[in-house]
Amino acid sequence: MKSGQHFLTDRGIAERIAGYAEISPSDRILEIGPGKGSLTEFLAARAGRVYAIEADPELARYVEESFPNVEVIQGDALRVDLPEYNKVVSNLPYHISTKITLRLLRNPFDLMVLMYQREFVERMLASPGSREYGRLSVNVSYYADVEVLETVPRSAFRPMPHVSSSVVRLRPRRDRELVDELIFSSISRDLFTKRRKKVKNALASIGVADDVMLDLDPSILDARPEDLGVDEFVQIARVVSEHRSRDSL
């Protein structure tokens, strides 16, 4: 068993999670970390195709042999090429929660139903100015609308984790302003390493020129990164991107 992996053993909860995904036979489902297939069973019964990414060779073989309409991709979910899917349903391995969530958000999707440690969900949904607010919160707010569906007790897993979990449903934000995603990601990452500095000082420290900052709202420049909402991060990314495009002409 990989570090941080806790197998869901409560069949009732597994069936509910599959139900939250509103699966039809035309759906192509991605599951990350199927483990022993407790959730996979209910996904395979509903979807036309399930793709399951599993790092453990023995578990990958077990899942592939158990479900005929499941294609198992054996490897690291952070590194393998992702198949073409439209929904993601997973009890995500805790130790890769942040990295895999950021990867999934940047890939097109219709809906995701994901289970995380409860504290992780609190970070996803944190408000500007709070201690939990950070890069994860900003990226989730930019890409998706999030609905908390239920809390799952520790007793639903083996081995039993130290904390309870939460199931969330994410739908893509159709109204978001489109900006360069790599710039948005790097800006949110870099500014939160300097979360208590003024934004203008934090931007200067990562090499953003003064002429770029002249095009930003002064109220943004005088704030701290930890107090900015997602719209302010979008504005910073847009202005930085516009200047880079001009400079490349």
Count how many domains the chain has: 2
Residues 166 and 189 in one domain: no
Give 210's Cβ-side CA count (13 Å radius).
Answer: 0
Q: Where is the domain boundary, 151, 172, 193?
A: 172
Residue 161 backbone phi and psi in degrees, to 5: -75, 170
Q: Which strand ranges, in their side-by-side order, compose the sheet holding 144-152?
A: 70-74, 49-54, 28-32, 87-91, 111-117, 165-172, 144-152
Residues 187 and 161 in one domain: no
* DSSP character at residue 51: E
Residues 145 and 67 in one domain: yes
CB 179 within 8 A of CB 234: yes
* DSSP character at residue 108: -
Helix (H, G, I), strand (E, B) or coil at 151: strand
Residues 143 and 54 in one domain: yes
Residue 63 falls inside a structural domain: yes
Q: Which two tokens stand for residue 48?
A: 């036309």
As annotated, the binding site includes 6, 8, 33, 54, 76, 91
Residues 41 and 81 in one domain: yes
As annotated, the binding site for S-adenosyl-L-methionine includes 6, 8, 33, 54, 76, 91
pLDDT digits (tens, 9 = 90+) for 57-111: 999 999 999 999 999 999 999 999 999 999 999 999 889 999 999 999 999 999 9
pLDDT digits (tens, 9 = 90+) for 206-241: 999 999 999 999 999 999 999 999 999 999 999 999
pLDDT digits (tens, 9 = 90+) for 13-45: 999 999 999 999 999 999 999 999 999 999 999
Residues 52 and 82 in one domain: yes
Residues 12 and 97 in one domain: yes
> Is the model's pTM score more than 0.85?
yes
Q: Which residue has the tokens 């899942």?
A: 63
Note down the domain range covering 227: 181-247
